[in-house]
Amino acid sequence: MGATSRRALLLGGVGMSVMSVTACTGDPAAPPRPSTSVESTTTPLVVDVQRQSTARGRGVRVIAMFPGSKVERLPVFLALHGRGSTAGLFLDLGVPAMLAAAVQDGVAPFAVLAVDGGDSYWVAEDPADDPQKMLIEEVPGWLTEFGLIESPVGALGISMGAYGALNYVRAVPGPPSAAVLSPALFTDWSQARARNVFADEPAWLRTEPLRHTDDLHGAIGVWCGTSDPFLPAAKKLVASGRTSAGKFTGGGHDPAYWRSALPEAIRFLGGVIR
């Protein structure tokens, strides 16, 4: 199906007025990856739009990634980016191709929705900019526009996005699940304070996932590189006994590691869909 016909399908079937539709097979500048992880005979569908977020007080980029070449009413996992990045991180890392390959290999089909969350660890640093409120109150409506199931199954988070993903699954019923890569969590206030995000220690304590592991009731998978500065925090999260999977392999806090870990994380998420 060509780009023009895909656009017509989406405009007619989902009711969106303005959108860009792209067939995405991964980041062409990325280093070679194992063919067993990313090769697929299906071209995944990517819908990339702008939406106005009242909760964040600004326009945000919203990217829906489907494992096949058409819009389907599928379960969805939210994808939360790291600090200094945007929703486009998941396109740069090649998530659409990984998603298509996983489904082709027999993983339960699902879609991924990435949104812009700013740099505040997905918490309300400013009452006028509340990314968690956006996820909980606005994203379900956007999912309906995309033709997806409006209640996310859980979240995929990278670095700062892992902080946000774990707070998201604490906040919504389900229980939702999460896959977190290189989780930027903090074992003490001095580490958190250095990020210049949290107003004070009580504000950090309210949202630090390591202080609220009893609230994690869904399936939680953790991946972290052994050269990552956040490795001690990731190990503490796994040691809490609230995670379903924890894997520590060679790698740092960088895109090369995330590309290596994402195919397994995507398969983990597919495995928790009921």
Q: What tens digit of pLDDT does each residue of 182-209 get?
A: 999 999 999 999 999 999 999 999 999 9
Q: How far apart are CA 76 and CA 64, in angstroms?
A: 9
**Number of domain units in the chain:** 1
Inform me whether the pLDDT recorded for 13 exceeds 70.
Answer: no
3-state secondary structure 105-146: CCCCCCEEEEECCCCCCCCCCECCECHHHHHHHHHHHHHHHC
Residues 6 or more apart whose CB falls under 8 angstroms from that of 255 comprise 30, 92, 93
- What CATH number did the domain enclosing 159 receive? 3.40.50.1820
pLDDT, residue 7, reads 35
Domain with 212, as residue range(s), is 24-271
Model confidence at 251: pLDDT above 90: yes
Query: What whole-number distance in Å separates Cα of residue 184 and Cα of residue 163?
Result: 6
Q: Of the candidates 169, 201, 186, which has an alpha carbon nearest to the alpha carbon of residue 234? A: 186
**Is residue 17 assigned to a domain?**
no
- On whether residue 115 sits in a domain, the answer given is yes
Specify whether the CB–CB gap between 38 and 98 falls below 8 A: yes
pLDDT digits (tens, 9 = 90+) for 77-120: 999 999 999 999 999 999 999 999 999 999 999 999 999 999 99
Domain contains 3: no
Q: Is position 211 within any domain?
A: yes
Asked whether residue 202 is domain-assigned, the answer is yes
Q: How many residues does the chain have?
A: 274
Residue 4, domain member (yes or no): no
Contacts of 66 (CB under 8 A, 6+ apart): 44, 45, 46, 47, 72, 74, 96, 99, 111
Model-level pTM? 0.87
Helix (H) or strand (E) run with residue 154 in it: strand 154-158
Reduce the secondary structure of 8-48 to three states and give it as a string.
HHHHHHHCCCCCEEEECCCCCCCCCCCHHHHCCCCCCEEEE
Question: The tokens 């097979």 sit on which residue?
Answer: 25
Sign of the dihedral through C-alpha 170, 172, 177, 182: negative
Would 139 be classed as within a structural domain? yes
Report the C-alpha gap between 59 and 44 in whole angstroms. Answer: 26
The answer to whether residue 185 is domain-embedded is yes
